[in-house]
Amino acid sequence: MVSTPEISVLLLTKDGMAYLEEVLQAISSQKISEQFEVIAIDSGSTDGTLEILRRYPVQIKEISPEEFNHGMTRNLGIEMARGEFVALLTQDATPSSETWLQKMMANFSDPRVAGVYCRQMPRPDADVLTTRQLNGWLTARLQRDIKQIEDRQAYRSLPPMEHYMFCNFDNVSSCIRKDIWRKIPFPSASFAEDIEWSKQVLEEGYKVVYEPEAAVIHSHDRSVLYEYRRTYLCHRRLYQLFRLQTVPTIGHALRFSLTSVLTNSIFIMTHERRLLHKLRLLLRLPFLSVASVFGQYQGARDEKKLLPPKAMRGV
C-alpha cells in the first residue's frame, strides 16, 4: 500500500471478471509522478471478481448488493480514500493509455476545477449501432471543454436539453477534488449521481472539465430489458433535474420508434459487413428501438406525475 498517496483510484465492482483484469493492469501501468492507491468496493460478486482484486495492491471493501447506491457507495469509497484527488472508474472502463490519470490530473492546476471527466471509446468488438451511438455523444468529443457559469441569468434561461448538456459529467471515468466533495458530496441516487453533482458544483461557482486526451475503452452489448430499465431511470432523473422530455407524448413515441427502426435498418445494411451480425442486429432493432423510446417517454412521464419509483434491479 502506498504510504502517502496524492491520488486515489476508486473502482466499483460486481461480477466484473470480463474486463477487470485488463482494467487493473491498465491502472497499474499509469505513468505519473504522484503516488496513488487503488480502492475497490464490491457489492456481492460471486464470479471470481474478488479473487482478481486480491492479486493486485487494492484495498477492498465488501458491501451487500442491497447496500449499493450509485451516489452513496461512491461517497463511501471517497471517504476511505487518502488522496486529495479521487479518480472514479467503472469495472469495465479500461484506460486507453499510460497517461490516462496524468491527463486528468493536469486540469487541477486551476483550483476552481471541481471535476474532470473523460472521453469514452467503444470496444473493438462493439456492433455498428453501439459504436455510432457512443461516437455521437458528448463523451466522444475530441475538443477539450470547460464549463463554468459566467452569466446566471443566461444559465437559468437554458432550454432543458441545453441545460442538461451544460451540466454533463460521467463517472464511468472521472476525477474529482476531494475538498470540494467534502462540501458537495454525491447525492443518494439510483442513477445520474454524476450529473446532479456536476449541476450542484457548477451552481456553486466551480468548473467542470471534459478532457478528451484522458480516454477509456468502454461499451456495452445490452439486452432489450436492460436498455429499457436504464433509459427509464435515466429519463426520470433528467426530468427531475432539468424538466427534460425528449419524447413528450405517446404519439411521439410511436413516431420516433418507427423512425428509429427505419433509419437504423438502413445504417446497419450499409455499414455492417458481417452477415450474421447484420441479421442479428436487424432482428433485435425493433425491440431495442421500442425499449429506448418508450423508456424515455415513460421515465419522464412517471416523474412528471410524481409516481412512485419502479424497482429496476441490475442497473
Full residue range of the structural domain in which residue 184 is found: 7-217
Residue 233 lies inside a defined structural domain of this protein: yes
Same domain, residue pair 37 and 125: yes
CATH of the domain at 59: 3.90.550.10
Residue 200 inside a domain? The answer is yes
DSSP 193: H
Domain co-membership, 252 together with 170: no
How many structural domains is the chain composed of? 2
In terms of Cα–Cα distance, which of 81, 288, 43, 68 is closest to 191? Answer: 68
Closest CA to 43 of 57, 61, 30: 61
- Classify strands 7-13 and 85-90 as parallel, antiparallel or unpaired: parallel
Task: Say yes or no: 153 and 249 in one domain.
Answer: no
Q: What is the pLDDT along the chain (315 residues), one digit of tens a residue?
A: 556 799 999 999 999 999 999 999 999 999 999 999 999 999 999 999 999 999 999 999 999 999 999 999 999 999 999 999 999 999 999 999 999 999 999 999 999 999 999 999 999 999 999 999 999 999 999 999 999 999 999 999 999 999 999 999 999 999 999 999 999 999 999 899 999 999 999 999 999 999 999 999 999 888 999 999 999 999 999 999 999 999 999 999 999 999 999 999 999 999 999 899 999 999 999 999 999 999 999 999 999 999 988 767 767
In a domain, 312, yes or no: no
pLDDT digits (tens, 9 = 90+) for 235-247: 999 999 999 999 9
Claim to verify: residue 57 and residue 123 sit in the same structural domain: yes
Asked which of 196, 217, 238 is the last residue of a domain, the reply is: 217
End-to-end distance of the chain based on CA atoms, in angstroms?
32
135 and 193 co-located in one domain:
yes
Kindly state whether residues 124 and 152 are assigned to the same domain. yes
166 shares its domain with 196: yes
